[in-house]
Structure 1
């Protein structure tokens, strides 16, 4: 089911709502003053408490003085979604995509809203824009898979209407319907997260259909001792190199066989990262809540990343998969919003 970002993320069956967070992730606004942070936190607190009317009033009061603020506008869209005002929420998120086309979360939440209205072509287009702005946005990729499945379901249903005797179509349609039915039983409730950057709200998501059952991955044990410390040190060094615009150290943190997101070549990906990092006057990359698992020469680290730059201030969840090469841990895969 599609997952939404409640602004911090959100949807109705058969798409999964994303958790609401109160800030726009990875590409938002100028450095935040303490007063602004407190305003975001208060709106988020009211949302968590289910006091949506009070949260909307607080958001409107704030926006009266700062009408272009992307974080609060994102939160307002989440509140409108949560209070059953999809038309208003679509208007809010659409305007955000026009004013801040570099932000992926508004596109994602638009897709969830469109999917809730069975406008799957519009949902697909919005998710493709979210992925274009952030190729490593895992939630958008998952939601796009759900949308493709719904479109396939519609196409198979139409095929049966036109040719009821086509024996090949019915099993395909049944498979997709069973897929959504099984997923709906385990839909995670949408929850409101902290206000930082558009976060993600779970939308009903569907697992991809495969011809054979996926192999069971080896169990991962919590990292401990030297391995745990080495992995954490590698992640901290990567963040420090990024913040200091040390491109040699930053790009050197990635394994030779690192898989760039969005099907980019390694050369194009490195050029894109340089273009995004080097021109910035300042960059801040703070990581916290690290959860490390190690399995032999492989490791996975999940954490919260607070990114800030000249005109952005975003908080998001990130996962790094690392491989040990000699005495170093290098990044093999990188995903956001997972």
Structure 2
């Protein structure tokens, strides 16, 4: 899977593989490195002194604005600092000025994947591979992007037809690829600043897995995840079709509405907000599940659209197993 950056977003994969140093490419293209500046920037980067590292990179680039290696390092620093828009702009400009380098394309794909822009990530990785067909990192990342796109397609199929028994196992299999073993998580590889252009980069420290990844180790957890996935998609479908019986039955008897509202008042409010709408569409994507015995947490991106409103939000459902069903006991919108 993708290797995690230090500041992973909720939609990133368990691992995000950022490209290593482009020193070899610089040497091959005749661009000579001055080791002092690169060593200073790398030292500050590894120490987590990101503001200082960025200032040092900017100082270098003030005198050598076209230096591709330092620009690449600057993009890595921006990525580590969580400045995603700035990093995207940096790597995009590098691909325009140095289209023969595959690493900027790869790092663009990592950033796009972190924003769930998987089509853009796929296109960037295909450019990286076209530039260097032997670029193993890009091939691995492209496989992960295809797997994520497959996961979204299977989720959509279940949302349309929650009774399709053939889709659930496929979805569980795909998600199993991203659950993985936390011990295998690797850190972001940042560009090194060697004494000579051909020196190898040094990897950064390992980073923890994002909290939104599924972590299920109990027996039967995979089956529970499939059942919870089906329950969430059935809930969304009932909401979309204004099936109030099916929608309300997705909530447990002890469901606690937000704001201290009574269950009776909440049901009346939901009825008044759902039934009069001419059309409703509730789309669930990037669903992750954490199972803890008979309780679970389901988190996902929710896209709601009706004749009067269109809202994208992050939704978290706390669920409990009741007989053979998983029911909602609380829900929360927001990050």
TM-score normalised over the length of structure 2 = 0.54
* SS, match of residue 26 in structure 1: helix
Partner of 1:17: 16
**Structure 1 pair 140–170 and aligned structure 2 pair: CA distance change class (3 A):** same
* SS, match of residue 76 in structure 1: helix
Partner of 1:135: 133
Alignment of 1:130-209 (within 5 A): 130-184=128-182, 186-192=184-190, 194-195=192-193
**Structure 1 pair 105–147 and aligned structure 2 pair: CA distance change class (3 A):** same
**Structure 1 pair 107–15 and aligned structure 2 pair: CA distance change class (3 A):** farther
**Structure 1 pair 3–189 and aligned structure 2 pair: CA distance change class (3 A):** closer
The CA distance in 2 between the partners of 1:187 and 1:21, in whole Å, is 17
- The superposition leaves residues 23-73 of structure 1 with CA deviations (integer Å, 9 ceiling, x where unpaired) of 44435653426xx22211211111112111111011001111111110000
Alignment of 1:289-304 (within 5 A): none
Partner of 2:66: 68
How much is the aligned-residue C-alpha RMSD, in angstroms? 2.9
Larger radius of gyration: 2
Displacement of 1:18 in angstroms is 3.2
**Structure 1 pair 55–101 and aligned structure 2 pair: CA distance change class (3 A):** same
**Structure 1 pair 129–27 and aligned structure 2 pair: CA distance change class (3 A):** farther
The CA distance in 1 between the partners of 2:19 and 2:122, in whole Å, is 21
Check whether the contact 2:101–2:131 (CA below 8 A) recurs between aligned residues: yes
TM-score normalised over the length of structure 1 = 0.53
The CA distance in 2 between the partners of 1:24 and 1:32, in whole Å, is 9
Check whether the contact 2:14–2:179 (CA below 8 A) recurs between aligned residues: no
Aligned residues: 199
1:30 equivalenced with 2:30 (yes/no): yes
1:81 equivalenced with 2:79 (yes/no): yes
The CA distance in 2 between the partners of 1:187 and 1:149, in whole Å, is 18
* SS, match of residue 17 in structure 1: coil
Deviates most, 118-127 or 48-57: 48-57
The CA distance in 2 between the partners of 1:10 and 1:108, in whole Å, is 18
- The superposition leaves residues 278-334 of structure 1 with CA deviations (integer Å, 9 ceiling, x where unpaired) of xxxxxxxxxxxxxxxxxxxxxxxxxxxxxxxxxxxxxxxxxxxxxxxxxxxxxxxxx
The CA distance in 2 between the partners of 1:69 and 1:3, in whole Å, is 27
Alignment of 1:265-276 (within 5 A): none
Displacement of 1:82 in angstroms is 0.2
**Structure 1 pair 30–11 and aligned structure 2 pair: CA distance change class (3 A):** farther
- The superposition leaves residues 82-138 of structure 1 with CA deviations (integer Å, 9 ceiling, x where unpaired) of 001011000000000000000000000000000011111100000000000000000
The CA distance in 2 between the partners of 1:105 and 1:141, in whole Å, is 12
The CA distance in 1 between the partners of 2:97 and 2:14, in whole Å, is 27
The CA distance in 1 between the partners of 2:176 and 2:50, in whole Å, is 35
Check whether the contact 1:3–1:15 (CA below 8 A) recurs between aligned residues: yes
